């Protein structure tokens, strides 16, 4: 996911917001899919808008790989950076905070306030590092469920997310169909392709090959900054597309008229990648990157919830779906969304699908797009209207 500071927020936002924290599993540990148990667990989260008395207007926003709970608005004080989905969340936007109560939490395993490998292991008093158990998208979603229960949100009108956020949305729909009235899955897939896993592996190898990584135990010394920056650079290449890069950089040179005949960043694209890598190192933990990419690579909805059948994974419940792909996304190509849609149709689910023509590659779901906002707003509106009708009729 791109650095969202580059994005121009479309219209007024939700204003000042505050990051909150919720801690659970203090007494009983939280058992992960791997069988390992951790506790206590803290999740960082933010909310925007207000929950209706009937509780029918909650929208859960799930963030992508390296995102966080800060989906919209700005923090008090010196940090002017708006949330990563400022273009989508706010008054009158695709997810209208005048109408909806939006919740976004930082995933378990993250490093933006949630428990992850950089947190202190209560048994040793030192950061977990590689002693942190490997987790899954399912674990992240189960932790979010505990948070929603704590917030008194019994049912969400929609779970919404793109990329790895979309995987969480699908996991929600398969695991807790009764909790999710609708699922909006953008630029995502029911499982990663070999190509995708390959990119993640190269990125992970860049981190573990950094001498400062030190087997994951680097919290009291220099960080594996170079490896993490390279991992981020690889990511950025996959988030764009041939066309997007040509359009954005071409073969343009950075701050010079001719080649330097060295290995400095002569080309604009090199300079861009190095800048993105540096910026990422300032805010992200290398071990979190390893754990979260692993969780995304392990994700296979059909295997986990349908004994190998994606159709079976969606066989329970009444969740309706909106699936969106982007034409130039080669990380989560349209064929994967179509596979998802096919399984949903076979399972008898109400599903809408649209492939948006966009030249910006995978990043398109984060950019200001009236078409995408319109799709999300329309889907939410109808879901809410139909839910209201069902509630009036006394249906569950």
Partner 1 sequence: MRYDLDLVASWIAPGSKVLDLGCGQGELLQHLHDTKGVQGFGVEQDEEKAATGISRGVSILQGDMAGEVRDYPDNAFDVVVLSQTLQQVAEPLGLIRQMLRVGKRAVVSFPNFAHWRNRCQLFFQGNAPVTPELPYDWHDTPNIRVITFRDFHRFCNRFGFTILEAVAVKTDPASRGGLVLRLLPNLRATYGIFLLARS
As annotated, the binding site includes 232, 363
Annotation marks residue 318 as catalytic? no
| Max Cα distance, the chain (Å) | 74
Q: Is 305 a catalytic residue?
A: no
β-strands 30-31, 37-38: how paired?
antiparallel
Residue 258 CA, distance from chain mean position: 40
Q: Which is nearer to partner 1, 212 or 386 (CB)?
A: 386
> DSSP letter at 255?
S
Q: Kindly name the residue from 300, 362, 369, 373 that is annotated as catalytic.
A: 362
Contact flag: residue 379 with partner 1 (CB under 8 A)? yes
Give catalytic status of residue 325 as yes or no.
Answer: no
Among 315, 342, 359, 368, binds partner 1 (CB under 8 A): 342
By the 8 A CB rule, do 114 and 135 touch? no
CA distance 142 to 152: 15
Q: Give the rounded distance of the alpha carbon of 89 from its chain centre.
A: 15
Which one, of 168, 122, 106, lies nearest residue 141 by Cα? 168
Among the listed ranges 70-78, 140-148, 291-299, 340-348, the one in contact with partner 1 (CB under 8 A) is 340-348
- Stretch of 140-148, 166-174, 204-212, 344-352 contacting partner 1, by CB under 8 A: 344-352
Q: What is the token pair recorded at 258?
A: 């001719």
Residue 348-377 contact track with partner 1, rule CB under 8 A, x = bound: x-xxxxxxxx-------------x--xx-x
CB 179, CB 146: distance < 8 Å: no
CA–CA distance, 285 with 68 (Å, rounded to integer): 12
Q: How far is the CB of 394 from partner 1 (least distance, A)?
A: 16
Q: Which is nearer to partner 1, 70 or 320 (CB)?
A: 320
List the alpha helices (DSSP H) in 88-193. 137-151, 164-175
Query: What residues between 274 and 333 interact with partner 1 by CB under 8 A?
Result: 320, 322
Of 231, 355, 364, the closest CA to residue 286 belongs to 231
By beta-carbon proximity to partner 1, the closer residue of 164 and 347 is: 347
Active-site residue (options: 329, 369, 373, 379) = 329
Q: Please give the size of the binding site for partner 1, defined by CB under 8 A.
A: 25
Bind-site residues for substrate: 232, 363
| Active site amino acids | 163, 329, 362
The binding site for partner 1 (CB under 8 A) comprises 320, 322, 338, 341-342, 345-346, 348, 350-357, 371, 374-375, 377-379, 381-382, 385
């Amino acid at each position: 996911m791109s650095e969202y500071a580059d994005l121009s927020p479309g219209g007024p936002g939700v204003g000042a917001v505050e990051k909150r924290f919720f801690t659970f599993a203090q007494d009983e540990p939280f058992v992960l899919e791997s069988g390992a148990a951790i506790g206590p667990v803290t999740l960082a989260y933010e909310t925007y808008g207000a929950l209706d008395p009937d509780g029918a207007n909650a929208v859960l926003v799930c963030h992508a790989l390296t995102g966080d709970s800060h989906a919209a608005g700005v923090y008090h004080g010196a940090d002017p950076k708006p949330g990563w989905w400022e273009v989508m969340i706010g008054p009158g936007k695709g997810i209208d905070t005048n109408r909806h109560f939006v919740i976004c939490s930082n995933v378990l395993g993250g490093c933006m306030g949630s428990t992850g490998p950089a947190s202190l292991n209560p048994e040793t008093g030192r950061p977990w590092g590689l002693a942190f158990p490997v987790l899954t998208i399912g674990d992240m979603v189960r932790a979010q469920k505990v948070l929603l229960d704590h917030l008194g949100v019994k049912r969400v009108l929609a779970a919404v997310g793109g990329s790895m956020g979309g995987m969480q949305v699908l996991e929600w729909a398969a695991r807790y169909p009764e909790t999710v009235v609708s699922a909006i899955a953008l630029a995502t897939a029911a499982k990663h392709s070999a190509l995708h896993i390959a990119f993640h592996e190269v990125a992970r190898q860049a981190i573990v090959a950094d001498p400062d990584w030190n087997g994951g135990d680097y919290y009291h010394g220099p960080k594996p900054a170079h490896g993490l920056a390279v991992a981020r650079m690889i990511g950025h290449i996959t988030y764009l597309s041939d066309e997007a890069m040509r359009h954005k950089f071409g073969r343009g040179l950075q701050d010079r008229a001719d080649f330097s005949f060295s290995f400095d960043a002569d080309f604009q694209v090199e300079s861009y990648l190095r800048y993105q890598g540096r910026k990422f190192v300032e805010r992200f933990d290398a071990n979190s990157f390893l754990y979260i990419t692993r969780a995304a690579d392990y994700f296979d909805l059909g295997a986990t919830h349908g004994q190998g059948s994606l159709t079976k994974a969606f066989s329970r419940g009444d969740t309706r779906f909106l699936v969106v792909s982007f034409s130039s996304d080669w990380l989560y190509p349209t064929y994967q969304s179509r596979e998802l849609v096919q399984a949903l149709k076979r399972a008898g689910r109400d599903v809408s699908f649209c492939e948006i023509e966009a030249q910006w590659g995978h990043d398109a779901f984060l950019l200001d797009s009236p078409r995408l906002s319109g799709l999300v707003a329309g889907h939410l509106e109808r879901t809410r209207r139909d839910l209201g009708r069902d509630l009036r009729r006394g249906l569950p």
